[in-house]
A = this chain, B = another copy of it.
Amino acid sequence: MRLVAVDWGTTSLRGALLDADGAVLETQSHPRGILSVSKGGFGEVFDSLFGAWMQPPNTRCLISGMAGSQQGWIEAPYCACPATPADVGHAIVDIEHGRIAIVPGLQCEHDGVPDVMRGEEVQIFGAMALAGLEDGVFVLPGTHNKWVTVQRGRVTGFRTFMTGEFYALLGQHSILARMLDADAPLDGAAFLQGVTQSGNGEGLLHNAFSARTLPLFQRMPVAEVASYLSGVLIGEELRTQSLRATGDVVLIGTPSLTDRYALALRSKGVATRTFGAEATWAGLYALSGFLDNP
């Protein structure tokens, strides 16, 4: 069996063609997230992008991400935590029986407040498979970052942090926007100064204002403010979460983001290991073992 593995997110979509052993033969990515697809238009978009890959007999497709949400192709109800790969695999929802199926997301709850993920669970299972890990803290940076606890092969719980979205809001729409050069390369020292600032425990609402006063008083070059603010935000996450990490932290995502978390965590004495897109493909491959026979 060949597998067409697809991570269909809110703003973008990535796919890989895997052979029977899970080796990646080809990949593609497109700015065709679910927000760009009209209700009822998913089949057509899928065929236009993956029709050629799906041609040969004995080819299956497994999709993860927001395509399984209410606003997606078909809704795949969340699995409750704690959840093993098998729990998620058995909850896979058919789109076209024997041909295309979709992975559900995960749901957990803290003190009566639900939390959710869609797509990250596949990356976690993939990294667990690639690294041979059954326990650990996994961090998946992005618009809505996830801090995830894995114990004895099960995702036991997680928390979402709106770090990426807050960074975009502050950089684009706030009073800080005109001081921020979002395209400036990361300045490691300014970034770590921001991480340290958040360690004062005075909270993001206060510490974010220092990204205004430091350049206002010529205490920081404007070119460094974006890196500093990124550090303040990620430092605020670490302030509440990094103590949960007793061993290494596994980072999964694009290098431009995972590098920042690695830098911040290292400054706190926490070692990291990092996975990228290969975790997604390995996760979908592992879950494809639970697909029904056609």
The residues of A with any CB-CB pair to B shorter than 8 Å are: 110-116, 144-145, 159-163, 165-166, 169-170, 172-175, 197, 200-206, 208-210, 213-214, 216-217, 219, 233, 236-237, 239-240
Within the complex, what minimum Cβ distance (angstroms) separates A73 from chain B? 19
Q: Is the CB of B173 within 8 A of A237?
A: no
Note all chain B residues with C-beta closer than 8 A to A145.
205
A204 in complex: contacting residue of B159, B201, B203, CB < 8 Å = B203
Note all chain B residues with C-beta closer than 8 A to A213.
113-116
Note all chain B residues with C-beta closer than 8 A to A236.
203-205
Q: Contacts A162-B208, A209-B144 known; A240 to B169 CB distance under 8 Å?
A: no
Within the complex, what minimum Cβ distance (angstroms) separates A259 from chain B? 19
Note all chain B residues with C-beta closer than 8 A to A160.
206, 209
Within the complex, what minimum Cβ distance (angstroms) separates A54 from chain B? 33
- In the bound assembly, the distance between CA atoms of A214 and B174 in angstroms comes to 26
Q: Contacts A174-B165, A202-B159, A203-B240 known; A214 to B116 CB distance under 8 Å?
A: no
Q: Contacts A173-B169, A174-B169 known; A161 to B206 CB distance under 8 Å?
A: yes
Note all chain B residues with C-beta closer than 8 A to A202.
159, 240
Q: Is the CB of B206 within 8 A of A159?
A: yes
- In the bound assembly, the distance between CA atoms of A68 and B193 in angstroms comes to 31
- In the bound assembly, the distance between CA atoms of A202 and B160 in angstroms comes to 10
- In the bound assembly, the distance between CA atoms of A210 and B115 in angstroms comes to 7
Q: Contacts A144-B209, A165-B175 known; A114 to B204 CB distance under 8 Å?
A: no
A205 in complex: contacting residue of B115, B166, B173, B206, CB < 8 Å = B166
* Top 8 A-B pairs, shortest CB-CB distance: A161-B205, A114-B213, A203-B240, A169-B169, A113-B210, A160-B209, A114-B217, A204-B204
Additional pairs, 20, CB under 8 Å, beyond known A114-B217, A162-B205? A113-B197, A113-B213, A113-B214, A114-B214, A114-B216, A144-B209, A145-B205, A160-B209, A161-B203, A161-B205, A161-B206, A161-B209, A162-B174, A162-B209, A166-B205, A172-B173, A203-B237, A203-B239, A204-B205, A206-B240
Note all chain B residues with C-beta closer than 8 A to A165.
174-175
Note all chain B residues with C-beta closer than 8 A to A112.
219
From A114, A205, A236, residue with most partner B Cβ within 10 Å: A205
Note all chain B residues with C-beta closer than 8 A to A217.
114
Within the complex, what minimum Cβ distance (angstroms) separates A235 from chain B? 10
Within the complex, what minimum Cβ distance (angstroms) separates A286 from chain B? 27
- In the bound assembly, the distance between CA atoms of A184 and B239 in angstroms comes to 34
* Closest B residue by C-beta to A213: B114
* Closest B residue by C-beta to A166: B205
* Closest B residue by C-beta to A204: B204
- In the bound assembly, the distance between CA atoms of A214 and B110 in angstroms comes to 12
